[in-house]
Amino acid sequence: MDKNQATGLILISILMIAYFWFFAEEPKIPENGEDTKIEQIDESQIETTRTPEVKEFKNDSTVNQELINQYGAFATVAKGESEITTFNTDKLQISFDTKGGRINSVELKDFETFDGKPITITQQADEEKELIFNTATGPVNLYDLYFELVDAPKRQITAGDTIQFKYVAQIDANKSIEQIYTLSGNQYEVGYAVAFNGFTNEILGDQLTLRWNKKMRKFEKDLEQSRVKATVNYYSETEGMDGLSERSEDDSEQLTEAVKWFSFKQNFFMEAIITDIPMNRAEFSTNIEDLSDDYVKRGTAKVEIAYSEFQNKAAEFKYYFGPNNYKALQKVAPDFEENVYLGWFPISLVNKYVIINVFYVLEKYISNYGVIIIILVLLIKLALSPLSYKSYVSMAKTKVLKPQLDEIKEKHGGDMQKAQADQMELYRKVGVNPLSGCIPLLLQMPILFAMFYFFPSSIELRQEAFLWASDLSTYDSIVNLPFEIPFYGDHVSLFTILMTASTLLITWSQGQVSSVQGPMKNIQYLMPIIFMFVLNSFPAALSFYYLIANLITFGQQTLIRRMIDEDKIIKILEENKKKNANKKTSKFQQRLQEAMKASEEAKKGKSKGKKK
């Protein structure tokens, strides 16, 4: 071996020693002669708290340089892998994504769609969600960053249990973003908090912007009715609960006052965010543009929240994913139960304080909702029976006076003013108030209309079958038509037909004791036909309620008719006529006669003017 070869071997040896010294991994030596096979550990079984490691960031990568340009100080958490973790409570199956540390999907366990599929009220494919904060390199969306799940002890939460866990984006050793979630075993509410820890100059401006665009999926059979019931509602302390028009296919609103909650509300289900922190400069809108039949409506929301609420402390919110149950919603937030629309004032008062309470009491003891509706009708009719009796007696009095009223008309011929004056005088003498038959009916109207709003909004009736109706919360159909009838639909509701027939029967029965004659008597038969068209696509429960109410009313009228002795009524009226013969006309009747006289003179004046 010559000198050059020896020198080469020495240099190669030195290089190899240096390589293994600086670059080779230190081998892991198994203890006690164990096999060196590495076992996979299920992280879901680890219950200890872990702190996410700070990720090393290299500037020499083209992709990373792009991230630096876009995300600045937050580039270290702008790249990663999306991992889904699913939790189960008694009410929800809810999954979370490490990308954004956000809710990925929410399934309601106790409910199904009209065709038997799970109700997934939230899924990322249907939403665009942003929580924007400003940086030196531009706006950054919190939900574009990657987080790591920590503090998640278990995945199954039962009644009585509550867990809390975090999604953390660790920027460096002293800076992090935390999203904290709280799940309870038997709640539809999900606690949510966000904190920005340790930041000084990285975040610019004093506001964060929350944008939330959501396509609301179709869960019910009737797409048209589902769209009519879908909207965005909101609550402010100054104005209370309000919302966009349900019936509008394109509506929007910009608010000057701060809101405390807003909801994407459908007929029976809702997703909402609630907080005590003011959400300012709120903008809401709804539309159906470019939506397929799988969706009922698109809702959008934009609010601004002060950054100081998040700075080195947790800004607290909560989500609601669940059914529109009036009693349950009362416990969620101020005026939150108003998401269930129960009619305008005073109709809503009847529903809130009478109908709902009676309904829930019956529900505790009776499982069949058809039977509950029948009992509800009986209770209401029993409570209103004195008014019904008064109304019927008043019509009977009017009927026995009909011969005398006809004589007055013949006496004055076409002079309506004198005929009406004599009629009023006759009513005064016999002691009959012509309006007394209408007043009891008017007092019953709030309850009649209350049902019009109560049944379409009652989730308790959803997918509850009765007789031939498979779902009392939507229309029953005995025939599906191959075409659509204008203002009627493409199906035939048997409950609506029976209700119409019973209404015609009631109208005929009342006509037997009514003094109404001529065209007006025939027009009253037209109204039930109109309602048949209107109610054909309304919930079967509503038509069934009106059907039972009509049958009971017909029975009441038949019973009252047998109780009333018309000869006795005539005798009483004649006695009143003798007693009131010299009685002065009351001030009210005088004003009424003067008003009638003025009206008749005005008509005559107009007719003379036309002749000229």
Reduced to 3 states (helix: H, G, I; strand: E, B; else coil), residue 294 is: coil
106 closest CA partner among 98, 116, 91: 91
Cα dihedral sign for 122, 126, 132, 138?
Answer: positive
What is the reported pLDDT for 12?
Answer: 52
Residue 574 has pLDDT above 90, yes or no: no
For residue 609, the tally of other CB atoms under 10 A from its CB is: 8
Residue 580 has pLDDT above 80, yes or no: no
CA pair distance 543, 473, nearest whole angstrom: 11
For 121, the enclosing helix (H) or strand (E) is strand 118-123
Residue 563's pLDDT band, with cuts at 50, 70 and 90, is confident
CA pair distance 610, 79, nearest whole angstrom: 85
Strand (E) positions, 373-488? 479-485
Q: Please, how many CA atoms are within 13 Å of residue 16, restricted to the half-sphere of its CB? A: 6
Does residue 39 contact residue 132 with C-beta atoms inside 8 Å?
no
What is the reported pLDDT for 371?
Answer: 96
pTM confidence score = 0.78
What value does the mean pLDDT take over residues 249-262?
Answer: 94
b (16+ CB within 10 A) / e for 75-90: bbbbbeeeeebebbbb
pLDDT, one tens digit per residue, over 483-523 is 889 888 899 999 999 999 999 988 887 666 555 555 666 67
140 closest CA partner among 213, 67, 64: 67
CA pair distance 534, 550, nearest whole angstrom: 17
Separation of CA 380 from chain center: 26
Backbone angles phi, psi at 197, to 5 degrees: -105, 130
346 preceded by cis ω (within 30°)?
yes
Q: Please, how many CA atoms are within 13 Å of residue 12, restricted to the half-sphere of its CB? A: 6
Does residue 93 contact residue 109 with C-beta atoms inside 8 Å?
yes
82 closest CA partner among 64, 65, 96, 66: 96
Reduced to 3 states (helix: H, G, I; strand: E, B; else coil), residue 237 is: coil
Rounded mean pLDDT of the chain?
83
CA pair distance 118, 108, nearest whole angstrom: 7
Reduced to 3 states (helix: H, G, I; strand: E, B; else coil), residue 384 is: helix
Residue 584's pLDDT band, with cuts at 50, 70 and 90, is low
What value does the mean pLDDT take over residues 85-89?
Answer: 96
What is the reported pLDDT for 440?
Answer: 65
CA of 576: how far to CAs of 101, 424, 429, 433, 582, in Å?
83, 15, 6, 13, 11
Reduced to 3 states (helix: H, G, I; strand: E, B; else coil), residue 376 is: helix
Choose the weakest-confidence range: 33-37, 283-287, 310-314, 350-354: 33-37
Backbone angles phi, psi at 31, to 5 degrees: -85, 145
Residue 28's pLDDT band, with cuts at 50, 70 and 90, is very low
What is the reported pLDDT for 27?
Answer: 41
What value does the mean pLDDT take over residues 199-223?
Answer: 94
Reduced to 3 states (helix: H, G, I; strand: E, B; else coil), residue 200 is: coil
CA pair distance 497, 501, nearest whole angstrom: 6
Residue 395 exposed, middle or buried by CB count within 10 Å (0-12, 13-18, 19+): buried
DSSP 529-590: HHHHHHHTTS-HHHHHHHHHHHHHHHHHHHHHHHH--HHHHHHHHHHHHHHTTTPPPPHHHH
Q: Which residue has the tokens 């058809």?
A: 370
Separation of CA 333 from chain center: 15
Cα dihedral sign for 133, 137, 143, 148?
Answer: negative
Does residue 488 contact residue 557 with C-beta atoms inside 8 Å?
no
Choose the weakest-confidence range: 358-372, 439-453, 558-572: 558-572
What percentage of the chain carries pLDDT values higher than 70? 77
What is the reported pLDDT for 528?
Answer: 87
Mention every residue, 6+ apart, whose C-beta is less than 8 A from residue 371. Answer: none
- Name the residue with higher pLDDT: 303 or 417: 303
What value does the mean pLDDT take over residues 422-426?
Answer: 72
- Name the residue with higher pLDDT: 11 or 328: 328
Does residue 384 contact residue 437 with C-beta atoms inside 8 Å?
no
> Which structure tokens are listed for 340?
């269930």
410 closest CA partner among 607, 434, 418: 418
pLDDT, one tens digit per residue, over 292-330 is 999 999 999 999 999 999 998 999 999 999 999 999 999
Backbone angles phi, psi at 375, to 5 degrees: -65, -40
What is the reported pLDDT for 595?
Answer: 64
Residue 458 exposed, middle or buried by CB count within 10 Å (0-12, 13-18, 19+): buried
Separation of CA 300 from chain center: 16
Question: Which residues, in sequence order, are bridge partners of residue 193?
Answer: 180, 316
Listed ranges 46-55, 523-532, 595-604; the one with the highest mean pLDDT: 523-532
160: left (phi over 0), alpha (psi -120 to 50) or beta: left
Residue 342 exposed, middle or buried by CB count within 10 Å (0-12, 13-18, 19+): buried
Residue 337 has pLDDT above 50, yes or no: yes
286 closest CA partner among 296, 270, 272, 300: 300
The amino acid at 97: D
- Name the residue with higher pLDDT: 91 or 582: 91
